Amino acid sequence: MTLPRHALLAAAAALAVSTAPAVHAQAAGPLKVGLMLPYTGTYAALGNAIENGFRLYIAEQGGKLGGREIAFVKVDDESDPAKATDNVNKLIKRDNVDVLVGTVHSGVVAGMAKAAKDSGTMLIVPNAGADAVTGPMCAKHIFRSSFSNWQPGYAMGEVVAKKGHKKVVTITWKYAAGDESVGGFKESFTKAGGQIVKELTVPFPNVEFQALLTEIASIKPDAVYTFFAGGGAVKFVKDYAAAGLKKTIPLYGAGFLTDGTLDAQGADADGLLTTLHYGDSLDTPRDKSFRLAYATAYKLQPDVYAVQGYDAAQMLGIGLAATKGDIAKKAEFAAALEKARIDSPRGAFTIGKSHNPVQDIYLRQVVGKENKVVGVASKALADPGRGCRM
């Protein structure tokens, strides 16, 4: 296959940008982006996909946003909340970054948001769904390019209720992301008359599921709802099938359960229904060109994390274009994003009052190696932003 010229250029630029020497910087100097992401542990693949997506967009812009070259400083946060404050302060105080981009884990992002608020540093969150970031911790200079934990869960509660299921068991990691994903599910599912008969949890990042799967088998609910992601999601889907549950008790999840994981899950994921703000078969010109450019640059298929990284860079670009590269102009930066329509591979979205994406949540079904979009579970779903006062 011959690749279109733009895809080749983007690929070459994506690879070149990481080594671009600082001597090419403009008078203002390069804008320093502090990437705080997990590069080790159960979420390592997610961190890498986010960075790839972020770099791809910048490469497509010729290496500059708002007229500024972009320089990177990176920290591996290991998805460890106990190290979050130290890690983010390395970027803020030691490296003097202009903007923080991170992270994946909801417990870690809480430390980042606090440090961003205390220091006034711009923060763009390319994954972590912690409801508080666009709730009680919201701020004019904090934005999210991904989702709130509540969003996919809430959309799935309606889907599962419409399927006629009455009694559901939930199972997840015991931390903010799991709790809030289940919280969103529970809100819409119980509103529609459903009942949560048991809420099961394991500590993060534990993957010893056997005892809990035995418990699910003995409860015999109509269905199970789950939040797991990354390496943990791979193990959970495989264990659920191996325990014989896949044939008897339908499993539903927030889409992270099957995103970026299908190669490793194989047939054990086949047929699973999940809700998420992205899918593999959107078939729009925007998504197709993104997927081609990403695959060309990295020899990998993109997933939701790559899209969120790409869109974090788009959002930074929109803010910097409005401020002509001056990130200290926080009010202008925020005003530009608040009225923007972000041309995402997922479909265009806007940024709500609390700075979380207002977006369609798709219903997807695993078919082979794809999360095939089978419908829109929730159109233009906005996080309620409870507790946000700016």
Torsion, Cα of 182, 188, 191, 197 (10° steps): -30
In the chain, count of helices (H) and strands (E)?
A: 12, 15
Closer residue to ligand PHB (CB): 221 or 232:
232
**Tokens standing for residue 275:** 């809700």
State which residue, 33 or 130, has the beta carbon closest to ligand PHB. Answer: 130
Nearer to ligand PHB, 53 or 63 (CB): 53
Q: Which is nearer to ligand PHB, 54 or 256 (CB)?
A: 256
Burial class (CB within 10 angstroms; exposed 0-12, middle 13-18, buried 19+) of 308: buried
Residue number, 10 or 262, with CB nearest to ligand PHB: 262
Nearer to ligand PHB, 200 or 233 (CB): 233
Q: Which residue is nearest to ligand PHB (CB)?
A: 229
Q: What are 48's two structure tokens? A: 């890498």
In whole angstroms, how close is the CB of 254 to ligand PHB at the nearest point?
Answer: 7
Q: Least distance to ligand PHB from the beta carbon of 232, Å?
A: 9
Q: What is the secondary structure of 139-163 as a DSSP string?
A: -TTEEESS--THHHHHHHHHHHHHT
Report the candidate in 287, 283, 226 with the shortest Cα–Cα distance to residue 258: 226
Taking the complex as a whole, how short is the minimal distance between the CB of residue 186 and ligand PHB, in angstroms? 17
- Buried residues in 248-259 as b, exposed as e (16+ CB within 10 A): ebbbbbbbbbbb
Please state the separation of Cα 178 from the chain's center in Å: 14
Residues at the interface with ligand PHB (CB under 6 A):
43, 104-106, 127-130, 149, 177, 229, 256
Helix residue ranges per DSSP H, 192-284: 210-219, 230-242, 262-265
Our CB check for ligand PHB shows the closer of 256 and 349 to be 256
Angle between helices 230-242 and 210-219 (to 10 degrees): 50
Count the Cβ atoms, other than its own, within 10 Å of residue 379.
9
Q: How far is the CB of 110 from ligand PHB (least distance, A)?
A: 10
Cβ–Cβ under 8 Å, residues 37 and 51? yes
Of 64 and 238, CB closest to ligand PHB: 238
Please report how close the Cβ of residue 217 comes to ligand PHB at its closest, in angstroms: 26
Cis-peptide, bond into residue 285, ω within 30° of zero: no
Taking the complex as a whole, the smallest distance from the CB of residue 259 to ligand PHB amounts, in Å, to 7
Rounded CA separation 128/67 (Å)? 29
Taking the alpha carbons at both ends of the chain, their separation in whole angstroms is 51
Q: Cα–Cα distance between 32 and 91 in angstroms, integer?
A: 10
Compute the least distance from the CB of residue 328 to ligand PHB, in Å.
29
Nearer to ligand PHB, 122 or 130 (CB): 130
Q: Least CB distance from residue 366 to ligand PHB, whole Å?
A: 16
Closest to ligand PHB by CB, 69 or 259: 259
Q: How near is the Cβ of 43 to ligand PHB at its closest, in Å?
A: 6
- Smallest gap, in angstroms, from Cβ of residue 256 to ligand PHB? 3
DSSP string covering 47-63: HHHHHHHHHHHHHHTTT
For residues 304 and 312, give the distance between their C-alpha atoms in angstroms, rounded to a whole number.
12
